[in-house]
Structure 1
Amino acid sequence: MPTTRDFFATAPKGLEPLLARELDGLGAESVKETRAGVEFRGTLETAYRACLWSRLANRILMPLDRFAAATPEALYDGVQRTDWARHFEPEATIAIDFSSRRSAITHTLFGAQKVKDAIADQFLDRLGRRPSVQLEQPDIRINLHLDADQAVLSLDLSGDSLHRRGYRTEAGPAPLKENLAAAVLLRAGWPEVAAQGGSLIDPMCGSATLLIEGAMLAADLAPGLLRGHYGFLAWKGHDIDLWQKLLDEARERGVAGLARLPPILGYDLDRRAIHLALNNIDRAGLRGKIHVERRAAADARPKGTKGLVVVNPPYGERLGDLESLSPVYRAFGETLQQHFQGWKAALLTGNVELAFQIGVRASRYYTLYNGALECRLFLFEIEPERFFTPRSGAPETEGQKKLRQIMGKAGRGAFPAEQAEMFANRLRKNLRSLGSWARKSGVSCYRLYDADLPEFAVAVDLYQGEKLWVHVQEYEAPSSVDPAKAEARLAGAMAMIPEVLQVPREQIYLKVRRRQKGEAQYGKQDQTAHFHVVEEGGWRFWVNFEDYLDTGLFLDHRITRGLIQQAARGRHVLNLFAYTGTATVYAAGGGAASTTTVDMSHTYLDWAGRNLALNGLAERDNLRIQADCLEWLDAATSRARRYGLIFLDPPTFSNSKRMAGSFDIQRDQGPLLKKAVSLLEPGGLLIFSTNYRKFKLDETVLAGCAVEDISRLTLPKDFERNPKIHVCWRILAPTGQR
């Protein structure tokens, strides 16, 4: 029976769910999505099939060893544990890919050099010969990934990124990688459309990447058939007969699939683009199977009665600007509405505002990455009920119509629709400025709007995961405001948000923030138990938009959590009033010697444990304690245990039934801070924060400590409109403290 072993498929960010499904379909076992890839188990045949058939993976890695590598010496010794002569001859050429995350060794070139030295020295010591380095198409490619000082050493079976199929030797401006093109088509449902005989049309085809990938999908052509080089060909474990069998099988399937290929057409106004497209089609072996011609996108016409229009138009980041590109999108949208009713359409763009110019409401969208550039893939059903005209002064959109109907019911004094359009314009403005900042800063969860206009007292937060979720919080209106007007204002906001953000209504959640006391501020609001995974700072977190007043991730503490991660390495860290443990994840991931997480709520401690597990952080060094933090502090001060870093973010007020009395942060800060400081090691750091807007720190209780107000430093850009969202201090214990 063939031996099974572990493998890892790397992929561009955002493609992990699709890749997991693909690998499952290729016979992989124990498939598990992870950061930037998918783990799986299988035989050598499974790995070969992944190399030959994966349309989404970048590389297929075969782990050889795992070991701790906190120092260059440990890295060198760990690499030498593998008997390299079992894998390749000393005459082979090699290349080393080295990556590092949250580890002491951060310089990738230095790390790669250490790995190379360890391999070369082993060959010299044992055989008197050594392999040479060749960066382009080496015989053997070795991968070492370092995460939290833990190394995974692998053989790269693909040899070169699998997105390089072999048919595209040159590309036009802003090229789309082949595996991203395949992901676009899979998300758009092209295999199902093709199976029903539908056509594929790309009206801005460029060098024809989408068309070629579409033909390969529809014809069951293995994307790796054109590649002449793989990383396993010079590997001593390579099974030549097995590989040949898989190649023969793939060629037979391709011949049968080409016979049933549906119509595939592409257009472009650029003569050079058409020239490149024809050359790429030839190299892909698809001459006569794909038709391309010079034609404007607005002149595209359907072939057949149903199909998919797919397009990756310019979106301003590199090829133009909003003002000049808006007419292009608008004309394309008019073509869809006039000539492609009943068809499906897919549009990949890095500019949401331009997508709005299409004039068709998206049925759904996905976030994908074109290199480092965050893009949105919008999917459309070209049906009249989804059409709108995104021009000022034009007929009502569906959102405006709904707003008018709601406000009609609200009666006299209802909020004017014109002011709702003001809200929409502010959202668009913020989306341009904050959206650009978020993309450049790698921020995927942020506050888009925070009562910028007094008439619309809501906060709008965006959370990016597999989908984009919108969390809307209405600030409770004072009693002096007419309830009918407040309802109309909220209706106006909720009508505009899905239209401006192009987000389906089912991905938008609304809550009303009222003054809360005690546990009510963290208590359950609903019972859906719907959790979603989002990313922040390279870490993943569970959030819930329905069951609690807050989501589980305080966005205003994004920078604070980063400071905790920077300060945590090698320290014992205490997180008090820990909520869902997000600061604990940052500390543990930052190399803390241990973490202790204390909170009164079993629900939130369990949530914290799930966040730790989601990031692969072991429970052994991350203790969670359910206790009243005030009582726990009383007991802890008598113990010998001390901490190098403490994060203290208590509630403003609490009178929980599980507490002996009430707690008020202004009144009770003295005992709380004294006890926390007493638990610090000499020179230890306390980061103290509160969201009580009127809080005044009593520095007399911190005698001997160095106290620094870092409120402005910890204020993220998306909260600059609300600088009192929290206050924060950095408190350093005296070096002589016992």
Structure 2
Amino acid sequence: MSDRYELFLTCPKSLEGLLAEEATQLGLEEVREQVAAVRGQGDLETAYRLCLWSRLANRVLLVLKRFPVRNAEELYQGVLAVDWHDHLMPNGSLAVEFSGHGSGIDNTHFGALKVKDAIVDKLRTASGERPSIDKVNPDLRIHLRLEKGEAILSLDLAGHSLHQRGYRLQQGAAPLKENLAAAILIRAGWPRIAAEGGALADPMCGVGTFLVEAAMMAADIAPNLKRERWGFSNWLGHVPALWKKLHEEARARAEAGLARPALWIRGYEADPRLIQPGRNNIERAGLGDWVKIYQGELATFEPRPDQNQKGLVISNPPYGERLGDEASLLYLYQHLGERLRQSCLGWEAAVFTGAPELGKRMGIRSHKQYAFWNGALACKLLLLKVLPEQFVTGERRPSGDADPAAPRSEPARLSEGGQMFANRLQKNLKQLGKWARKEGVQCYRLYDADMPEYALAVDLYGDWVHVQEYAPPRSIDPEKAQARLLDALAAIPQALQLDPSRVVVKRRERQSGTRQYERQGAEGRFMEVSEGGVKLLVNLTDYLDTGLFLDHRPMRLRIQREAAGKRFLNLFCYTATASVHAAKGGVRSTTSVDLSKTYLDWARRNLSLNGFSDKHRLQQGDVLAWLEEDRGEYDLIFIDPPTFSNSKRMEGVFDVQRDHGRLLDLAMARLAPGGVLYFSNNFRKFQLDEDLAARYAVTEISAETLDPDFARNTKIHRAWRFTTR
């Protein structure tokens, strides 16, 4: 066998340049970068050293042969031509990985089967003994890549991916792979900072991957020193004496590194469930004296080993994938920037993010950015120098007689557009606040796309804010739309002088349908609000709508005033807030009908919250079908149907424009003499069937059902009053 080999190192996409530098330092020659890989030349000692010391590679592949392939038979013959007796015993085990396509081989399973057949046929003995297949821990892991008509046949020296160091048996919900974490640390300048005796802190450390990788670099510990099983362990070409020499050298370097004074490396994590798993990972890595993890919120983060110590703050904040994440993440990034400005002056910082726009909201300019891929997600590493001249917000400075060691910073400076939005909110609050206080209104709409470029609805629920973002038209650049949303979210807490944690954001499509009934989350966080003397439960987080349609407030209060002694029917009742108002008004009985069990349970809680239980029926069912079967008589009826419904629990599809005539005829048949039916809906193109006016006394009352908070959006709904002729 040759003493010199072609070596092929795979890595995550975007790490190629760093891996090429590392491999060169570890002895690889003639290094060339490829997509998610590096190739070069080296002897077996170099290959072993790469396995042991590479912090960035996934695999170290030793190329056995390259040969042209035009069809499956040529693939088989090319593999068969290798003298496999130099690599594997006939009673050994193997696994084959196949990638690429072409030459009539477009199925990777078929390609792997042909490679396996060739190896097995070569090693089969006269007695029939042959290698077995073991996909988990084989004696030999073979990789063949088919590329542009050429087969590259390799032996995987690593076995399992090199990013699996063995210390991280427990991990959080969205962990970084160890080699990606190492690459981020290298780009952030940690090797230089560590060599200078600097400190490292991670304010959102999860289970401590950054911390362990940083400590291994600082203590000169080979990342795979503790790995016991390798892809070459049972390879017949393995030279144990050479491997033992390199391994003992690495062990001696680690012992010497750990004997030096430990650097200050600390992590902080708000989630108490991650503290012990993180500490366990640190102990498995043998770094308990170097690395410490503490439970702590970002708000308390203050990395000060002593006043003169400087170093690197590194963080991988959440990116946000759920509906409504924008607000919480914006404020998280703003808060991170605030903590850096207040407590880390003179430090360097590195923020790894899948949401670069949020990174710009920290109030500190990045002096350098690097593109990375975290799996399939494009990310950026933002490098910052925490110095006043880099601050986009107010400078760090002591105040009055305050301790200079406890500086403060000004609130984040709003963009020009954000300041305009804040001004509009404050103007609306001044006008509507007076009306709300006078009328005792606790929940109202403060803003509804008043400025076209900020297409949001902003509703106040006591000291909480519920924000709905209308999806922008396709003609609007998504990046501009996202930037405007973040401008608005930055402005809301400042303009309304409230805690950012009390802002909830959702996205609402401008379309028909029943999306208000679709579950968006599962926090189960209900809060109690008051309206017209009744108490109601709202949920700002779990559904697109909150359980209380603010625009129907005047209608609910009208029903309360007219309800005394009457039998009330509430169709498409949702959370039955109108029924609660009717009960408050002294109704004789209420019947509330809806298809959703979830909302009927919510309705039951609303009634119970106000002490109402007797005489109030909650009926689950398709409203049209229920009306056809019901024979009750009602003095007061309220109908507010969805624009469209195709629930699996109903027959057919309900379309308010098409079906409202039949719906109203069925409901009017249940109306007692002298009774009143109120009908409303929010379909903007809705046209009331003209024939209804010939059968009933119909009066549009839309203008009477809008309070000042919806005066700017008169098309929020339309409403009519029906009586018998």
User: Which category of TM-score, normalised to the shorter sequence, fits these structures?
Assistant: 0.5 to 0.7
What is the deviation of 1:428?
14
Give secondary structure in 1 for the equivalent of 2:165: coil
What is the deviation of 1:433?
8.8
Partner of 1:317: 321
Q: Are 1:345 and 2:349 counterparts?
A: yes
Q: How many residues align?
A: 417
Task: State the alpha-carbon separation in 1 of the partners of residues 71 and 51 from structure 2.
Answer: 34
Aligned partner (choices 367, 373, 386) of residue 371 of structure 2: 367
Give secondary structure in 1 for the equivalent of 2:79: helix
Q: Is the 8 A contact 1:49 1:246 kept in 2?
A: yes
Q: How does 1:212-291 map to 2 (within 5 A)?
A: 212-258=212-258, 259-291=260-292
What is the deviation of 1:426?
12
Partner of 2:297: 296
Give secondary structure in 1 for the equivalent of 2:366: coil
Q: How does 1:385-424 map to 2 (within 5 A)?
A: 385-389=389-393, 394=413
Task: State the alpha-carbon separation in 1 of the partners of residues 242 and 221 from structure 2.
Answer: 19
What is the deviation of 1:392?
11
Q: Is the 8 A contact 1:208 1:266 kept in 2?
A: yes
Distance 1:427 1:256, change over 3 A: farther
Partner of 1:328: 332
Task: State the alpha-carbon separation in 1 of the partners of residues 125 and 246 from structure 2.
Answer: 39
Tell me the amino acid that sits aligned with residue 243 of structure 1. W
Q: Could you tell which deviates more after superposition, 35-44 or 57-66?
A: 35-44
Distance 1:74 1:175, change over 3 A: same
Q: How does 1:26-45 map to 2 (within 5 A)?
A: 26-45=26-45
Q: Are 1:430 and 2:449 counterparts?
A: no
What is the deviation of 1:351?
0.9
Structure 1 gaps of 5+ residues are 401-417, 437-738
Task: State the alpha-carbon separation in 2 of the partners of residues 17 and 435 from structure 1.
Answer: 32
Distance 1:320 1:89, change over 3 A: farther
TM-score, with length taken from structure 1: 0.53
Partner of 1:48: 48
Give secondary structure in 1 for the equivalent of 2:362: coil
What is the deviation of 1:134?
1.0
Tell me the amino acid that sits aligned with residue 75 of structure 1. L
Distance 1:104 1:340, change over 3 A: farther
Task: State the alpha-carbon separation in 1 of the partners of residues 261 and 144 from structure 2.
Answer: 43
Q: Are 1:376 and 2:395 counterparts?
A: no
Task: State the alpha-carbon separation in 2 of the partners of residues 351 and 240 from structure 1.
Answer: 47
Q: How does 1:501-650 map to 2 (within 5 A)?
A: none
What is the deviation of 1:150?
1.1
What is the deviation of 1:170?
2.1
Partner of 1:163: 163
Q: Is the 8 A contact 1:181 1:209 kept in 2?
A: yes
Partner of 2:21: 21
Tell me the amino acid that sits aligned with residue 84 of structure 1. W
Distance 1:102 1:322, change over 3 A: farther
Give secondary structure in 2 for the equivalent of 1:32: strand
Distance 1:6 1:213, change over 3 A: same
Task: State the alpha-carbon separation in 2 of the partners of residues 394 and 176 from structure 1.
Answer: 32
What is the deviation of 1:389?
4.2
Tell me the amino acid that sits aligned with residue 351 of structure 1. A
Partner of 2:122: 122
Partner of 1:152: 152
Distance 1:144 1:359, change over 3 A: same
What is the deviation of 1:313?
1.1
Q: How does 1:65-214 map to 2 (within 5 A)?
A: 65-101=65-101, 104-124=104-124, 128-214=128-214
Distance 1:297 1:80, change over 3 A: same
Distance 1:378 1:101, change over 3 A: farther
Task: State the alpha-carbon separation in 2 of the partners of residues 98 and 287 from structure 1.
Answer: 41
What is the deviation of 1:13?
0.5
Give secondary structure in 1 for the equivalent of 2:124: helix
Task: State the alpha-carbon separation in 1 of the partners of residues 247 and 324 from structure 2.
Answer: 43
Task: State the alpha-carbon separation in 2 of the partners of residues 194 and 98 from structure 1.
Answer: 41
The CA RMSD measured in Å over matched residues stands at 3.2
What is the deviation of 1:434?
11
Q: Deviations over 1:398-446 (max 9, x none)?
A: xx9xxxxxxxxxxxxxxxxx99999xx999973549999xxxxxxxxxx
Distance 1:434 1:396, change over 3 A: closer
Q: Is the 8 A contact 1:326 1:357 kept in 2?
A: yes
Q: Is the 8 A contact 1:317 1:350 kept in 2?
A: no
Distance 1:332 1:218, change over 3 A: same
Q: Is the 8 A contact 1:19 1:56 kept in 2?
A: yes
Task: State the alpha-carbon separation in 1 of the partners of residues 171 and 39 from structure 2.
Answer: 32
Give secondary structure in 2 for the equivalent of 1:220: coil
Task: State the alpha-carbon separation in 1 of the partners of residues 180 and 369 from structure 2.
Answer: 15
Q: Could you tell which deviates more after superposition, 38-47 or 300-309?
A: 300-309
Q: Is the 8 A contact 2:170 2:278 kept in 1?
A: no
What is the deviation of 1:125?
5.8
Task: State the alpha-carbon separation in 1 of the partners of residues 475 and 329 from structure 2.
Answer: 17
Give secondary structure in 2 for the equivalent of 1:206: coil
Give secondary structure in 2 for the equivalent of 1:315: coil
Identity of aligned residues (%): 48
What is the deviation of 1:202?
0.7
Q: Is the 8 A contact 1:68 1:151 kept in 2?
A: yes
Q: Is the 8 A contact 1:174 1:318 kept in 2?
A: no
Task: State the alpha-carbon separation in 2 of the partners of residues 112 and 188 from structure 1.
Answer: 40
Task: State the alpha-carbon separation in 2 of the partners of residues 178 and 322 from structure 1.
Answer: 28
Q: Is the 8 A contact 1:314 1:320 kept in 2?
A: no
Partner of 1:732: none
